[in-house]
């Protein structure tokens, strides 16, 4: 038992290191690759590497690297939370895992119905990836959710799933949907079809980016105000931004934590609503029943 217990704890420690190491690597990479500058700047994701390609160069950006590091951390977190599961829960860790699973499954069943109960892992992945990506700003890192390319990729994936369920009754049924309720509205229906991923991508990206911009501008303003009001202090005291102490941290609670988690929840809710709403369930089961009747 002693050897098993030590091995169990050793695996736990290894998984915790796997959770922390990607974030530490991201911080180190930013420190080593960020050129020295004066003041506070607001820019997009920095290009870390350019790989020459025949048609167009492949750019490796800060948001791509941070996305992969977040996924590694989440993977290690899930392994840690599910390490040592038993049939009967006897640890707080397993109770927490079971509570999370129950809440996500309940959320999916409530918003999508029993038919889509298998989407619970997908929705949990969206929530975790989006929330943890936004929370990277707490470490001074570039959050991938502030990059339109990242949120657009997520929105396109959801859009493909939406289109798949719309085509469950066949491509003809799907194309006829553009002619409803009247045929001359087809151009508007076509535009609204592709407006779904655009709106999802811009909503998530815009809300996270705006919080980052506002927080940065306020921090810069407070630093300048400190120099004006308290710049007369002798020595190094005049260089300390006293007015920046406290307020940016309070704003971070909203912009980095609350807003980031809220946008993750909204993106997940929209995904559930659009996917379940796109599936013509009654018509699908009616078609299936007719097929079975013909086969008999």
Check residue 107 and give its pLDDT: 93
Alpha-carbon separation of residue 132 from 17, 119, 139, 208, 257 (angstroms): 17, 20, 11, 12, 10
User: What is the secondary structure of 118-153 as a DSSP string?
Assistant: GGHHHHHHHHHHHHHHHGGGGGTPPPGGGSHHHHHH
Low-confidence ranges of the chain (pLDDT < 50): 1
Model-level pTM? Answer: 0.84
* Phi, psi of 46, rounded to the nearest 5 degrees: -75, 145
What is the rounded end-to-end Cα distance, in angstroms, of the chain? Answer: 61
Helices (H) and strands (E) counted in the chain, each on its own, are 10, 2
- pLDDT for 240 equals 61
Please state the separation of Cα 14 from the chain's center in Å. 25
Q: What percent of the chain has pLDDT over 70?
A: 87
User: What pLDDT sits at residue 296?
Assistant: 67
Confidence (pLDDT) at 284: 83
Q: How far is CA 166 from the centre of its chain?
A: 25
């Amino acid at each position: 038992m002693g050897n098993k217990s030590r091995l169990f704890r050793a695996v736990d420690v290894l998984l915790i290191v796997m959770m922390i190491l990607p974030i530490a690597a991201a911080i180190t990479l930013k420190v080593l690759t960020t050129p020295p500058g004066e003041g506070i700047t607001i820019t997009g994701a920095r290009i870390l590497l350019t790989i020459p390609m025949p048609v167009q160069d492949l750019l490796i950006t800060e948001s791509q690297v941070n996305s992969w590091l977040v996924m590694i951390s989440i993977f290690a977190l899930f392994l840690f939370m599910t390490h040592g599961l038993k049939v009967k829960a006897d640890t707080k860790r397993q109770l927490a895992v079971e509570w999370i699973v129950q809440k996500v499954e309940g959320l999916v069943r409530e918003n999508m119905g029993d038919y889509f109960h298998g989407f619970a892992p997908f929705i949990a992945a969206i929530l975790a990836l989006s929330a943890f990506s936004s929370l990277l700003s707490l470490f001074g890192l570039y959050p991938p959710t502030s990059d339109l390319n990242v949120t657009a990729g997520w929105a396109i994936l959801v859009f493909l799933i939406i289109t798949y369920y719309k085509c469950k009754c066949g491509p003809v049924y799907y194309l006829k949907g553009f002619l409803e309720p009247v045929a001359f509205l087809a151009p508007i229906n076509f535009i609204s079809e592709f407006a779904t991923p655009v709106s999802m991508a811009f909503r998530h990206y815009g809300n996270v980016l705006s919080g980052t911009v506002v927080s940065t501008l306020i921090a810069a303003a407070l630093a300048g105000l400190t120099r004006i009001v308290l710049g007369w202090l002798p020595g190094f005291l005049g260089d300390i931004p006293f007015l920046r102490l406290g307020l940016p941290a309070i704003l971070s609670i909203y912009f980095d934590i609350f807003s980031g988690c809220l946008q993750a929840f909204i993106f997940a809710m929209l995904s559930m609503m659009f996917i379940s709403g796109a599936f013509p369930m009654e018509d699908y089961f009616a078609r299936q029943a007719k097929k079975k009747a013909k086969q008999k």
